[in-house]
Amino acid sequence: MLEAFVYARQRVVAAFEAEGTLLTEHALLDDNGDGVGTDAPDPLAGDGMVARTAFLSAGEDLATARMAFPDDPELRPLYLERAEIEARVDDLRVLRGGAEQTEYEAELERLLIELALKSRQIRQLEAAKGAPDPR
C-alpha cells in the first residue's frame, strides 16, 4: 500500500507540473492513528509503518507464495522461523529512534545474520528437493 501511495502521489504531482497548473490535489497518508497525515511517509517511524506491511494481491497468501514447498514438513517450520525473524527485524526498526545507536546496530546485525543463515538453510533444503534457485 505504501508503494501505491507514493507512486500515485508522485504521478499526480508530475501531471500538475506537466500541465503547468497549481497543484490542487494533496494526498496524505495517516496510518498510525494520530489524526495527522503526511505527504512524505516514513516507513520506519510514524505514518507509513502500517502501509508498508499491507499488500494488494489477487487473493493469494504472500507468505505462502514465497515458499517453494509450503506443505513440506521439513521446510514449513523453517519458513515460519524465517517469518518470525523478519518480524523481529521489523519490530526492532520501530524502536530505532529510542534505542542506543550501537545497541540498535548490534542487534540489527545479529538478526540479519540469523535471517541470512536461515534463508541459506531454506535454499539448500529447497535445492535438495528440486526447487529452482530464486536468485
The tens digit of pLDDT for each residue in 15-58 reads: 999 999 998 888 888 887 788 888 888 877 778 878 777 766 55
Question: pTM of whole model > 0.85?
Answer: no
Residue 135 pLDDT: 52
**What are the Cα distances from residue 80, in Å, to 3, 28, 55, 84, 92?**
25, 35, 19, 6, 18
Q: What is the pLDDT of residue 85?
A: 93
Distance (Å, rounded) from C-alpha 111 to C-alpha 105? 10
Q: Which residues contact 119 (CB under 8 A, 6 or more apart)?
A: 82
The more confidently predicted of residues 112 and 67 is 112
| Alpha-carbon span 11 to 120, nearest angstrom | 39
pLDDT value of position 29: 86
What spatial distance separates the first Cα and last Cα of the chain, rounded to whole Å?
25
Of 92, 89, 129, residue with least CA distance to 113: 89
More confident residue, 61 or 6: 6
In this predicted structure, the answer to whether residue 60 has a pLDDT above a threshold of 60 is no
Specify the DSSP class assigned to residue 51.
Answer: G
**69 vs 122: CA distance, rounded Å:** 10
CA separation for the pair 32, 16 (Å, rounded): 29
Question: What is the structure's pLDDT at 22?
Answer: 92
pLDDT digits (tens, 9 = 90+) for 64-100: 667 778 788 898 899 999 989 998 988 888 777 666 8
- pLDDT score of 68: 77
Confidence label for 134 from pLDDT (cuts 50, 70 and 90): low
